Amino acid sequence: MMASSRVNLLKAALGTFPAKFCGQSTRNTYVFQHVVVPPATPPGQTQRPPTEKQDFQKYELIEEETTTPAGPISVILLEDVEGVGHQFDVVEVDREIARNDLLLTRKAQYASPFDLKYYGDLKERMKDELAKRVRIPFEWLQIGRRLQKMVVPLTVSMDDAWTLNKGIVVASLRQIGVDVLDGAVHLPVEAISGPNFELEARLIRFYIVINKQYVIPMIGRLSHISADESKQALYPDTDKAITSEQLRKFGLVPETPYFHKSADIDDNFGVFDFMKARAKKV
Amino acid sequence: MNSILRQFSTLSVARQLHSDARLLANPSSVVLIQNRGRKRALKASISRQEKMERRLKREEREAARKQYNFMERIQIRRMKNLLSPSQQYPGRYVADDEAELPDAPLCNVFIREDVKTQFYSITDALKMHRELQQPSMYNNPRAPLKVRFELNMDTERATKMVSASSEIVPIPNPFKHNEKRTILAFAAKPELQELAVESGAEIALGPDMIKKIIKGQFRIDDYDFCVAHTDMGSTILPLRGILKTRFPTKINGGFGDDLPGAIERFKSGVKVDIKPDPVFPQWGLCEPVIGRLHMPDEEIESNLHAIIDAICKHRSPALGPFVNRAVLMTIPGTSFAALDVSKYLPVATEEEIEKLEKRKTGKKKKKEEKAVEQKVAEVDELLAVM
């Protein structure tokens, strides 16, 4: 730990990692070109020495190969890596990530001809097992994680009668920057209506379905609003994460997202009851 | 009391004697700096520590000064005095900041900051606002709709920007705007003047008042717009500089035979104010109210079209798009939806592009032409001599 911190300090101080400290050789490749093209050697004669004329020794730098970025490297993933790919996939990854993370931690292997064949054969042998695995697309996982952290303020009127419906939830989500294009929101079966100040700041469980396949449990908090500014109420801080104690107060439990086998979760699926039953089992 | 004081004084004397003795024992530790003569206080030297402190302070000040270059310091001074309205909510759209984000959402659910700005059609934007303003939520289904236009105010000259203007644009589908509009009518005949006042003009003036306005005896700043009858003719031309964008012309519909109609159009028209940003001169803002939420979508769309046409007349389309982004909002409200107005923006014709090119290279070309002409003249002279 001490040695690595000292090394990091050195790195920061020097800016680069010189060869004498890491024991590895460094190499810079320069591509030069004659400024004055020397005359072609006639056949049968020996080449004129470059020291004969000054012009023969004049070179200009065309390219310093070391400065051009090397580009991504092709690796075979040995396990499912989020954001990169699935097991046995041959992917192009950023060189730094490959060298510092994937290859060192044995999550990936260089895509050498031998390893390509070896892992290709292994993939064939493990085909059935791989097919059984549940693979959730990375974008859905990312969105799911972000959504689960949010507490959506469900803005409802202080003056007019309302019943919590999809429209209110979708509009409230839009206010905090989340757009649900097809209205795939599933609410509790028991209708919640108001205005009812006993329900103010109540936590409500609802579900969002991504691409009819991935169900994400979300929390909403009822907040009565009014266009009349004199009636404004103070709302609790929504930046903090909801604790399980707070959930228990409203009869809720922490839940995890559910990935369905096929993309057929629609309005008739009964998402709310299904997730409730699933939460009870857990 | 006296005995205590005496004890204390003897102690201090003893201490002094002790320190003096130490000093005398080690004479090299004694540093005697004496200033004698005139201006003793001014010549007093400072200790090494004091010198170090002063040097550090000086270096800090130098570093703080060198942090920004001249133009940056001007910018910082401007920003301290003023707040840029373009940067206040919902801010300015900069396409480069979103270059790395995906163009379209990848799923049916997306977080707005993870995707590029989505431009909606007016129908979709209105639907979103109507959902929010429904009786169950904000309960304002007749909310006034405003469009916040972010404008690019630069012209072909680097130091010249599009100037601020205020005008009333007649719209095809008027709506109740609850604004008090004061209209000034110019008519030669007293009957027409009466008619103008009956139709809704604040006041009607004849040709005799024009000189008074020019002299400054009659204030016209309070009036939002002016309307003139054709019988006034060219007598109102001297007022063009005073009235500026409020001047009635055939193009804006303020000059004509039908005074009541014109007054009605301007009473129900939309006030369009183009305001340049005080901090960033190349940016501008315009926030006209284009309708009400309960109006049909087609009416709002046609109103928007008319307003965009009027706004875009202030800058040549050959310079590029005048509108950076148009955002639909309600009053009051903070939610907004970016509108796709590309089909309403004027397309530059070839003539306009050529005109712009000529204006840009006009001076250079003139110099070249002059030089060519001179040479031709010299050659002709030589030939004549030969």
Selected residue of B118, B136, B142, B328 to mutate for chain A interface (largest A Cβ count, 10 A): B136
Main-chain phi, psi angles of A19, to 5 degrees: -60, -40
Using the 8-state DSSP alphabet, how is residue A102 labeled? I
Q: Quick one: pLDDT at residue B98?
A: 92
pLDDT at B232 over 70: yes
Closest residue of chain A to B112, computed from CA coordinates = A177
- Say yes or no for a CB contact (<8 Å) between B131 and A167: yes
pTM of the model: 0.72
pLDDT at B363 over 80: no
Q: Is the dihedral of CA B20, B26, B29, B34 positive or negative?
A: positive
- Say yes or no for a CB contact (<8 Å) between A167 and B106: no
- Say yes or no for a CB contact (<8 Å) between A159 and B139: yes
The whole-angstrom separation of Cα B86 and Cα B278 is: 9
Neighbours of A108 (CB within 10 A): 26
Residue the block writes with tokens 């103010």 = A200
- Say yes or no for a CB contact (<8 Å) between A139 and B137: no
- Say yes or no for a CB contact (<8 Å) between A160 and B108: no
Q: Quick one: pLDDT at residue B212?
A: 85
Q: Quick one: pLDDT at residue A3?
A: 44
More confident residue, B245 or B292: B292
Confidence category of residue B14, pLDDT binned at 50, 70, 90: very low
Report percent pLDDT > 70 for chain B.
89
Q: Quick one: pLDDT at residue A109?
A: 96
Q: What is the pLDDT of residues B244-258, one digit of tens each?
A: 777 888 777 778 888
Neighbours of A254 (CB within 10 A): 14
Q: What is the pLDDT of residues B59-107, one digit of tens each?
A: 999 888 888 888 888 887 777 676 788 888 888 999 999 999 999 998 9
Q: Quick one: pLDDT at residue B190?
A: 87
Identical fold, B95-169+270-348 and B183-268: no
pLDDT at B16 over 60: no
pLDDT at B134 over 60: yes
Domain range annotation of chain B: 50-81, 95-169+270-348, 183-268, 349-386
Task: Lowest mean pLDDT of A33-42, B126-135, B188-197, B240-249, name the range.
Answer: B240-249
Main-chain phi, psi angles of B35, to 5 degrees: -115, 120
Residues of A in contact with B117 (CB under 8 A): none
Please name the residues in contact with B229: beta carbons below 8 A apart, sequence gap of 6 or more: B185, B186, B187, B188, B192, B196, B256, B257, B259
User: What DSSP assignment string belongs to A172-198?
Assistant: HHHHTTEEETT--EE--SS--EE--GG
The whole-angstrom separation of Cα A51 and Cα A222 is: 87
Residues of A in contact with B109 (CB under 8 A): 143, 147, 178-181, 184, 208, 210
Selected residue of B106, B109, B330 to mutate for chain A interface (largest A Cβ count, 10 A): B109
pLDDT at B125 over 90: yes
Report the SS3 class of residue B100. coil
B63: closest CA of chain A, how far (Å): 21
Mean pLDDT of B349-371: 77
Q: What is the CATH number of domain B95-169+270-348?
A: 3.30.190.20
Task: Lowest mean pLDDT of A134-148, B121-135, B185-199, B303-317, name the range.
Answer: B185-199
**Cα–Cα distances in angstroms (integers) from residue B22 to residues A209, B32, B301, in the given order:** 88, 15, 97
Q: Quick one: pLDDT at residue B5?
A: 46
Q: What is the pLDDT of residues B313-344, one digit of tens each?
A: 999 888 889 999 999 999 888 899 999 999 99
Residues of B in contact with A172 (CB under 8 A): 137
A170 in B contact zone (CB under 8 Å)? yes
Per run of 10 residues, the mean pLDDT along chain A (length 282 residues) is 46 49 79 93 92 92 90 95 93 94 95 97 95 90 93 90 92 93 89 87 92 93 80 62 84 90 87 88 79
Query: Domains plus CATH for chain A?
Result: 73-132 (3.40.5.10), 139-232+239-281 (no CATH)
* Most trustworthy range by pLDDT among B15-29, B141-155, B207-221: B141-155
Of B100, B113, B123, B169, give the one whose Cα is nearest residue B312. B169
Which top CATH class is B183-268? alpha beta
Please name the residues in contact with B179: beta carbons below 8 A apart, sequence gap of 6 or more: B271
Of A173, A207, A202, A167, give the one whose Cα is nearest residue A187. A207
Closest residue of chain A to B141, computed from CA coordinates = A227
The whole-angstrom separation of Cα A67 and Cα B301 is: 54
Among the partner residues A161, A162, A180, nearest to B109 by beta-carbon distance: A180
Q: Quick one: pLDDT at residue A238?
A: 58
Residues of A in contact with B108 (CB under 8 A): 180-182, 184, 210-211
